[in-house]
Chain A
Amino acid sequence: MLNKWMKKTVSVSKKNNENSATFNSCIEKTKQKLQDNFGDTSDLFIEEIQIGKQNGLLCCLTSMTDRQKINGAILTPLTDANLHNEQILDESTWEEYCKEFFSAAKHELIQYEHEVIDDILNGNALIFVDKLAKVLSIEVQKIEKRAIEEPSTQTIVRGPKEGFVEDVETNVSLIRKKIKNRHLRFESHTIGSETATKVYLAYVDGVTNQEILTEIRHRLDKLDIHALFDSGNLEELLEDKTFTPFPMLYNTERPDIIAAHLLAGKFALFIDGTPFVLSAPTTFSDFVSMSEDYYLPFLMGSFIRLIRYFAFLIALLLPSLYVAVITYHHEMIPTPLLISIISQREGIPFPAVIEALIMEITFEILREAGIRMPRAVGGTISIVGGLVIGQAAVEAGIVSNIMVIVVALTAISSFVAPIYTFAIATRLLRFAFVISAAIFGLYGVFLGMIFLVAHLASLRSFSVPYLAPIAPFSLQDHGDIFIRLPSWAMKKRPSFLRTENPNKQPNSKSPSPPKKEEGGTDS
């Protein structure tokens, strides 16, 4: 409560001082003041009421409040109270009065004008009493939210199917339900000068590194942004480095991933109005792993993860390697294959790079169209895309068959990365690689790789190196990077997160059947 109050005073001192005026005037003046503030907006509801023997005023925004809640939390107690017919002349009787009759709903007494305005905007109903400075604010918010559904991104076969929703309180409760630990903390922040969006900073006390928490609080406090609609807005403001195609904060719709990250020693940011929750510090390997790796048998989980790394490389490099080899290094291709490729390319009027760029750009357009178009015309894209662009282009002699295979394989591989923001980084870089391959062959591709690795090595997410634990190397953390060890073997939290408590499950042992000698009775 104190925190919230302090936040508000801070935000007010920025605006102006006249907002700290109070409402200790008569009802008519108060009414006038409110109307001055909100103008003639049609959803402002102001009604004069009797409160005890005094005149009072009930004020709320109809668009933000729930009729039924107003009935239950205000009108019914008010009728009950009016039977007592008490006189409310000073603030202490008013306080007692509130305690006695309005304790069913969440309520609070406020007095400054800016608080009043903030509360009305948040969907509270306010009760003013004639000549009293204290205003009763009761929470009667209308909460419109969709049901918890399976997330539309990052789908999995095995594992929890619930996903976050737009309502931040629901999201918080989803995490609370998963982690029943009294050290789990949610810190409230309000961000956005116009939108006043609620943001919760979640972490596990005693696990998440204190310096990292201080840093994120500092960054949240110094934010100056007018609107915050999605975690993407926030991500761009909190990054250590903006000029990078790679995401510096992890985003997901899946509560199980966020819960695992919190327990590993990361913090999470819940933003009201978006199902995408952020977590950080994040590393390269986070974007290649998926919660399902941990739910499948560990051998399978490891295998799938290796496939994902391989797919990342294909999505990034395959078109450029093809262009480089076809243009400069034919001798690397075994002769029979080379002959078949050359014969396919015989009638093609373009060099390999133009062919690759045509196909890649076409595919990018197709992909964008597939996302944006109305659902009703969904079938069209697959017909146009698959048939016309693929088959017809080959038959017309614009591109070669092998190019279509290369682009298709690249496209499929780029869908393997579980996190969308990470997958789109490879889309952009792929073009750079294709062009450098066209100019300098494999030399260009390898120089590009050096650039890319150096760039990745220079990135940090909240002071944690992006390539950790590959560089700087730490053997202990490698049980969960390229492969996943069985869960009993992972006794420690990642060391690069510099957690306050490095041990996760120090006593876990490999499961084994009871020894024959001891359990011999039942056979």
Chain B
Amino acid sequence: MYSAMVEKISLLQLFILIFLFQIGSAVVVGIAGEAERDAWIAILIATVIGIIIIRLYTYILSYQPGTNLFDIMGQLFGRNASMIISLVYTTYFFYIAARVLRDFMELLITDLFPNTPIEVLSILFMIAVLYVIYLGPEVLGRTAETFFPYIIIFLLLTAIFLLASGDIKMHRLQPILAEGFTPIHDAIFPGLIGFPFGEAIVLTMFMALTNKFQHVTKVSIGAVIATGLTLSTIKIVSISVLGTELSERATFPLLTAAREIAFADFIERIDPIVIFVMMLGIFIKVSVFFFGGLKGLEYVFQVPYRYFSIPIGMIVALFTILIASNYTEHIEEGLQFVPLYLHMPLQIGIPTLLAMIIFIKGKQKKGGITNAE
């Protein structure tokens, strides 16, 4: 009867994980700043690219359904080479987990806990992540599933309250495409491709765990479209509430926008609640990256990933603080260094290479079969 105990993720859970993962930190820090008031168009265009990227990942996984990225690399490159690449990926995943956590920690200490040491907050957060990951990806999927409706309801309520308070002024979105496509292009390449869409590379760990692999491509693409529309809507809301300049200057645009809410003389200053809804997205995102990294370690050392969870979890909590000495530096790294030197090769470069090898192998195999006939 314990066949049900094997860690499996349902398609709905995968959808929710992809959705929450991609909006996770994107709603916190705000994206596509380069495109200014046309940012929402940039996001929509980037969504299309996001679909292509996720199709690339599911194509790689379809090489052998049920195995994750590391196993497939092992089969294509041989164990030694794949071990090195896996370690690179593992480091990358842990680094991004730390970065995502840092985004949120900065939000917490600027807005809510100016006197609390950031280390305490990050260690506490990682303990929660550890607990969930220790319980397994299935539990992460179910936790996300339980919280999902509340996140959606909350995002909708924020929009409704903003609308009702009369803060949304659509004319702030005009003129559309005033400066042509150049800013949009700047926003998409490489910024938007790497974050949030390309980061889906780590979700391949979860795609491999689903019970019906044949539908994964459809579900993933659906989730990316949903993400794109949601992010674009959020962008429209925050620009139309704050205007381009304020939205540009605000460190956390959605939060600043939510502060404008004043409804029925009772619902006002709800930003602590906004923060904690964002926290759920961040939680999912950190957990997913953390799990991806642990899976990489599992592949390299051939030891169940749970053994690594506590020490590595504490290292990630520590590196959350060590990666940058202040928030400006952190954002600078995020905008200049990470997209070009980390996101591009690891999200696009290696996966494209993998996909090409699989494609050629597939051709050869097919050719072999037709020859045999």
Contacts and interface: CB of A to CB of B under 8 A. Distances in A.
Interface stretch (B228-236, B269-277, B306-314): B269-277
Contacts of A446: 276, 279-280
A263 B139 CA distance: 30
Interface in B98-117: 108, 112-113, 116
Interface in B121-155: 121, 124-125, 128, 131-132, 135-136, 139-143, 145-147
A447 B146 contact: no
B269 A472 contact: no
Contacts of B13: 471-473
A471 B17 CA distance: 13
B124 A440 contact: yes
Contacts of A332: 269-270, 272-273
A444 B275 CA distance: 13
A470 B145 contact: yes
B269 A447 contact: no
Nearest to B279: A446
Interface in A415-463: 440-444, 446-447, 450-451, 453-458, 460, 463
Interface stretch (A207-215, A228-236, A374-382): A207-215
A514 interface: no
A268 to B, nearest CB: 19
B9 to A, nearest CB: 9
B143 A453 contact: yes
Given A446-B279, A453-B143, A471-B146, A463 B5 contact: yes
A334 interface: yes
A450 B2 contact: no
Given A332-B270, A440-B124, A472 B1 contact: no
A40 interface: no
A161 interface: no
A334 B112 contact: no
Contacts of A442: 112, 272-273, 275-276
A463 B139 contact: no
A149 interface: no
Given A329-B112, A446-B276, A214 B266 contact: no
B265 interface: yes
A212 B276 contact: no
The contact size tier of chain A is: 20 to 34
A331 interface: yes
B265 A450 contact: no
A443 to B, nearest CB: 7
A465 interface: yes
Contacts, number: 95
Given A329-B112, A442-B272, A446-B276, A458 B136 contact: yes
B128 A458 contact: no
A334 B131 contact: no
A328 interface: yes
A331 to B, nearest CB: 5
B253 to A, nearest CB: 20
Interface residues of B, number: 39
B176 interface: no
B119 interface: no
B179 interface: no
B125 A471 contact: no
Contacts of A443: 108, 112-113, 121, 124, 276, 279
A463 B268 contact: no
B113 A441 contact: yes
Contacts of A454: 128, 131-132, 135, 139-140, 143
Nearest to B149: A470
B4 interface: yes
Contacts of B112: 328-329, 441-443
Contacts of B125: 447
Interface in B1-24: 1-2, 4-5, 10, 12-13
Contacts of B270: 332
B283 interface: yes
B222 to A, nearest CB: 16
Contact of A457 (B5, B113, B124, B146): B146
Contacts of A214: 1
Given A440-B124, A453-B147, 8 more contacts: A334-B268, A440-B121, A443-B112, A444-B124, A446-B280, A453-B143, A453-B146, A472-B13
Interface of B: 1-2, 4-5, 10, 12-13, 108, 112-113, 116, 121, 124-125, 128, 131-132, 135-136, 139-143, 145-147, 265-266, 268-270, 272-273, 275-276, 279-280, 283
25 contacts: A212-B1, A215-B1, A328-B112, A329-B112, A331-B269, A332-B270, A440-B116, A440-B121, A443-B108, A443-B279, A444-B124, A446-B279, A446-B280, A450-B283, A453-B143, A453-B146, A454-B132, A454-B143, A457-B135, A460-B5, A463-B2, A463-B4, A467-B146, A471-B13, A472-B12
Instruction: Give the top 7 A-B pairs by smallest Cβ distance, nearest first.
Output: A457-B142, A471-B142, A211-B1, A471-B145, A458-B135, A446-B276, A454-B132
